[in-house]
Amino acid sequence: FQDSLMKKLPQATVEDQTKKKLEQEQKNIEINDKTEKIVKKNTPSLKIDANLEEFRVILASKRAKLFDIQVQGIKANISQAPEKTLINLILSDLRVLDPYKKARYQQIISQQGDDKELLRVDLSLFNYPEEYIKGVDVYDCDVQVQFAKATIVFLFKHIDAILGFLNSLNLTKAALSLASTQASAAYEQVQKLQEQAFKVHLDVTFNAPNIIIPINSYSDQALFLDLGKLTLKTNFYDDPEKFLVEQQTVQLENILASRIKFDQDCNIIGEVILIECAELNTSINRLLYPDKVKTEPAISIKIDWESVNFQLANDDYTSVMKVLMENFSENIRDQIPESFQSDQFYYKEAEQEKQEDQLIDDFIKKQKELHTDEVLQTLKMKAEIKKMTLTLYLGESDLTVRRAPRDDKLKLANVQIDTLEAVFRQQSDGGYKATGRVKNFLLDDLRVMNKPTSVTRLMDRHFTVDPNTHMFSASFEFKPKNQTCETELRKITAQLESLYICVNLNYLMTLQDFFISGLPSGNAETQQAITKVDQSENDQNQMKTTVVSAKSSQSTTTQTSNVNVETRLEISVKNPEIILLEDYHNSNSNCLVLALALQMRMIQIDNEIKLYGWLKDLTIYSSNFAELKDTKNSSSKIKYRILQPAKADIFLSMNNEQQKIDVRISDIIISIALAAIRTMISVTNSLGMRQSTMQEETEKLSSKGLFTSKSFKEGDFWFTKGIMKYFAS
């Protein structure tokens, strides 16, 4: 029955059967190909997950505990596939504590806020076939970094403790050997990556830490540095002349510095702003094929900063100086008895120095072997700050509130620097050149006591100088020795254009009070810093002390570092004028002017020094301030010349055997004029109108002078008899 039924059904031909068979085989091949591709692309061949909840490290010496380091929440995930490798790293929290329980600042490093991730790093490595042609937007490595805000308390005693701890381990040889090996390996790796045009894409958001710098370890006042937010991104572009270029854009914003005051719980209760900055933009261009473009530097860096503004009151400046004098003078070693100087194995010092020198020489030799005799420009960096200002205020800042506005009536001075530029170039042979220049700098008297007709601009470019000329320029150049020159050359040049300085003695004494009055005197007893540490229990196991004499330590460092080095110094000052006004409240006042020109040149070869100096056109004359500013009638600005133009030359030669000084001075002709004497008397009388706290300081002096002072009018001088009537009227 089945056979008869099958015969009645339509049968497929041989061609149809063959066609169906081929279609089925093709479907199987496509399915297998798709399956294999999916497996290759998406299925990882290796996957590692690691999680460490917490670990703690306590650094201590035989005498005391130094640091308590607590790390929480470390997660690492690694996933490797044939075409991509993914690495993910997360750090939840990091804290460094001071083990001393009564420490004023116990948290040395801590996280600000309640973010669950302090640091997150996502790294992607792409594996492409050799025949694959990468486009501009195709990367070999992609790195994404996010860093939360952290707070760091900077006390110099902590740095001193770290240095002392490392010194006690006596790891100089091992550390230097490891650093040399790593530096050599890193250098070779960078060379290989540059040859392969390895493309790394960076996307970094870095909340830069807050740095707190207390006056000392027990003070409730500190300097607060907020480094803002840093973003870094990488792009690539093709250039017809430079080929493939990697461009990194770095932006640093919200930079701020202030002075703060804490309560007992280290909460900020008062704050005044000291520094405000605009965004800092940096562009870094790296040639991925530097061997093909030898006329351009391999790395070019450009830094632009729009403005930086400083604001300082009298006590703000005092606090900054106290930080430098007290914080940076604290150290833990002062609290350790002198009898506890542990043996540091100094008897091996000479042998270790030889090994260290050999490692350094081997590394330098290896670097030189990688370079050719052709000198190329490897690095160029250009930085520019368009405007920098400093405003000084009288009185004290208000630390009872946060960021209260300052009182404009207490302004004392304003210093302004326009267009500060710096350029640094480095070459492959180790030579480099750094140049800097300033477009203009100003000094203004901002006191409320000034009148509308007062002379408030105390320093500026001279009236005859082109406004487009840079007022100051300097350069430092270093050339290593080569086949044509057997000595290294260091050359320093500096040039100052003509400027004028109005000397107001009243104002200068006020500035002196600003910078000196709040500083602690040298004879005053200062409170000792609390730098105690928790003592260990095994003090009885102390090592026998081995005191190293100062002479032995100095003998190893006293080496002639200037052998085969030539140093050249050239300084030029173009005709500055120092102006002494008769009446600072009158812009049309008579004045005395001191003008000069100065040049200096020094040459030092080994231990031989030669110094040349020229003082030209030294003169003093009386004039009118309004006529000085009138550049059209420059010939009539001199009313009476008191000191005729003079000059002086000096030559100094010095070596290990002899010293020679040769000074030549031209004729000095001085003429005394009544107008000059009148100006000097007016300046002297202006000092009596000065309102300051100088009287309180003089009352503290118990000693008496040897001479009894009298007023100028009581003096019976022949050159004042004719003009005393003029002042009396």
The predicted structure's pLDDT at residue 537? 44
Cα–Cα distance list, 351 to 7, 169, 215, 547, 549 (Å): 104, 17, 42, 19, 18
- Residues contacting 262, CB < 8 A, separation 6+: 220, 221, 222, 268, 269
- What confidence tens digit (pLDDT) does each residue in 551-573 have? 444 444 444 445 578 899 999 99
The DSSP 8-state label assigned to residue 503 in this structure reads -
- Residues contacting 8, CB < 8 A, separation 6+: none
**What residue ranges of the chain have pLDDT lower than 50?**
1-2, 5-6, 31-40, 337-348, 523-531, 533, 536-561, 691-707, 726-727, 729
| Residue 675: strand, helix, or coil | helix
Pairing of strands 472-479, 457-461: unpaired
Helix axes 674-687, 721-728, angle to 10 degrees: 50
What pTM was computed for the model? 0.75
Phi, psi of 310 (to 5 degrees): -105, 140
HEC string of 157-191 equals HHHHHHHHHHHHHCCHHHHHHHHHHHHHHHHHHHH
Asked if residue 80 lies in contact with residue 64, where contact means CB atoms within 8 angstroms, the answer is no
Asked if residue 386 lies in contact with residue 366, where contact means CB atoms within 8 angstroms, the answer is no
| Residue 410: strand, helix, or coil | helix
The predicted structure's pLDDT at residue 11? 56
Closest Cα to residue 66, out of 324, 264, 335, 262?
A: 335
Residue 144: Cβ within 10 Å count: 15
Where are the domains positioned within the chain?
Answer: 2-37, 429-440+448-517+562-689+719-729
Q: How far apart are CA 600 and CA 328, in angstroms?
A: 36
Residue 604: Cβ within 10 Å count: 17
Pairing of strands 119-126, 84-97: antiparallel
- The encoded tokens of residue 165 equal 């701890």
The predicted structure's pLDDT at residue 561? 47
Q: Per residue in 474-494, is it b (16+ CB within 10 Å) or e — as a string?
A: bbebbbeeeeeeeebeeebbb
Q: How far apart are CA 340 and CA 335, in angstroms?
A: 11
Q: Determine the length of the chain.
A: 729
* CA 293-294-298 angle, 5° bins: 80
